[in-house]
Structure 1
Amino acid sequence: MWSYNRRILLVSALALAGCGFTPAYGPQGSGSALLGAIALEEPADRNEYILNRRLEERLGRATTPRYSLKTVLTTGENALGSTSTGSNNRSNLDAKVSYDLIDQTTGQSVHSHAVSSFVGYSTSGSNVSTFASQRDAMERLMTILADQIVDQLTLIEPDQLP
């Protein structure tokens, strides 16, 4: 049984190699070309700090940056479920990040895109627990958005990077 699975894995790997597939973090992949090469903007608030922190966790801190990443973050909140007394017991946080990857030598945009997502949290507890839930939800949301940005950046074809 095990040898059968290994054969499938080997055939799959050979098929991918034959079609020009290169791993994103392999020697010729765009992911490895961006590791430690992107300078981030100074965060203006806690949300931008969490976004940048996650981006640095995934991409590494830029020691000699070739690119800079400009981000524009917008957030919103929607009340959802309500009780018979009219108070809300659930809220959604939504956010969108528009970003632009800029080549620092030429100052030109290499890649720009936008990502968005949402998360929910409970507002049915005390003020302290509601605040803690909201803060935790915002941190989860910034992590999701940062991961989406990194995923989009690793999809850039290596020959499109200067």
Structure 2
Amino acid sequence: MRRGLVLAVLGLSLSGCGLHPLYSGGSAGTVAITLTQVDVAPIEGKAGWLMANALRDRLHTDTTPRYRLEIKLDDKIIGLGVRRDDSISRERRTLRARYQLVDLSNGAVLLDAAAGSDAGVDVVNSEYATIAAENTALERLSAIVADQIVARIATYVQRTSPEAH
């Protein structure tokens, strides 16, 4: 009985805090529908191809787009650890994305932001293994940054859409 009372009080206190579910309404909700209306502009390079695919997997664009997502990537690999023979033993791969959400009806930039992440890569004696590890890191980073971008767009839509409140 006492536990139920505590849960009820906590539930009532949370209802007034201003938190709202981001994807309220499920696939028929404003945020989910808006995300299906975002087209990803072509992005240069291998990192761009991976990023565009990761974003398309998350956005599920299936209608005539109302928005375009334009992205410029900065992909860097920096040597961190050095062995006694002055060869690199560890690298850091960094992927940064500067992106804009553009309204196709009037060309207005609705959202201008950045996202990024980094990963460590061990450099081993096998050049093939090192290249494979660098590629795997790029794939992981593309997925992480794509998640950040989609979450930021969803938050923007939820915050600015009167139907989402």
What TM-score do the two structures reach when normalised by structure 1?
0.84
Q: 1:94-126 CA deviation, whole Å, 9 max, x = no partner?
A: 121010001111110111101122111111130
- Percent identity reads 29
Does the 8 Å contact 2:80/2:90 carry over to 1? yes
State the SS of the aligned residue for 1:144: helix
Does the 8 Å contact 1:23/1:29 carry over to 2? no
84-93 vs 47-56, which moves further: 47-56
Supply the AA of the counterpart residue of 2:21.
P
Please report how far the alpha carbon of residue 133 of structure 1 lies from its aligned counterpart in structure 2 after TM superposition.
0.6
Please report how far the alpha carbon of residue 20 of structure 1 lies from its aligned counterpart in structure 2 after TM superposition.
4.0
Structure 1 residue 47 corresponds to structure 2 residue 47: yes
Does the 8 Å contact 2:43/2:72 carry over to 1? no
For structure 1, the residue ranges without an aligned partner over 5 or more in a row are none
Does the 8 Å contact 1:37/1:67 carry over to 2? yes
Show the counterpart of 1:24. Answer: 22
Query: What CA distance in whole angstroms lies between the structure 2 residues aligned with 1:152 and 1:58?
Result: 13
Matched residues, number: 160
C-alpha distance 88-45 of structure 1, shift in aligned 2 (>3 A): same
Supply the AA of the counterpart residue of 1:96.
R
Please report how far the alpha carbon of residue 14 of structure 1 lies from its aligned counterpart in structure 2 after TM superposition.
4.4
Query: What CA distance in whole angstroms lies between the structure 2 residues aligned with 1:37 and 1:152?
Result: 15
For structure 2, the residue ranges without an aligned partner over 5 or more in a row are none
Please report how far the alpha carbon of residue 51 of structure 1 lies from its aligned counterpart in structure 2 after TM superposition.
0.9
Q: 1:78-103 CA deviation, whole Å, 9 max, x = no partner?
A: 10111111111110011210100011
Does the 8 Å contact 2:67/2:102 carry over to 1? yes
Alpha carbon RMSD of aligned pairs, Å?
2.7
Please report how far the alpha carbon of residue 60 of structure 1 lies from its aligned counterpart in structure 2 after TM superposition.
1.3
Show the counterpart of 2:135. Answer: 135
C-alpha distance 98-124 of structure 1, shift in aligned 2 (>3 A): same
What TM-score do the two structures reach when normalised by structure 2?
0.83
Show the counterpart of 1:84. Answer: 84
C-alpha distance 74-30 of structure 1, shift in aligned 2 (>3 A): farther
Show the counterpart of 2:153. Answer: 153
Alignment of 1:94-105 (within 5 A): 94-105=94-105
Specify which structure has the higher proportion of helix.
Answer: 2
